[in-house]
Amino acid sequence: MRCPYCHFTDTRVVDTRPANEGQAIRRRRECPRCNRRFTTFERVEELPLVVVKKDGRRELFDRSKILTGCLRACHKRPVRREELEQLVDEVERELRNRLEPEIPSYVIGELLMQKLKQLDEVAYVRFASVYREFCDSCDFQREIERLVREKEGENSV
pLDDT greater than 90 at residue 47: no
* Whole-number average pLDDT of the chain: 91
Helix (H) or strand (E) holding 12: strand 12-19
Number of neighbouring beta carbons within 10 Å of residue 48: 8
**Residues forming beta bridges with residue 102, ordered by sequence position:** 50
> What integer pLDDT is reported at residue 3 of this predicted model?
95
For the whole model, what pTM was predicted? 0.65
Task: Spell out where the chain has E strands.
Answer: 12-19, 24-30, 37-43, 50-52, 58-60, 102-104
pLDDT tens-digit readout, 51-72: 999 999 999 999 999 999 999 9
Mean pLDDT of 150-155: 80
pLDDT tens-digit readout, 12-40: 999 999 987 787 899 999 999 999 999 99
pLDDT greater than 90 at residue 46: no
pLDDT tens-digit readout, 127-152: 989 888 888 888 889 889 988 888 88
Res. 154 pLDDT band, cuts 50 70 90: confident
CA–CA distances in Å: residue 151 to residues 119, 145, 146: 14, 10, 9
pLDDT tens-digit readout, 77-118: 999 999 999 999 999 999 999 989 899 999 999 999 999 999
> What integer pLDDT is reported at residue 157 of this predicted model?
60
> What integer pLDDT is reported at residue 133 of this predicted model?
84
Residue 56 CA, distance from chain mean position = 23
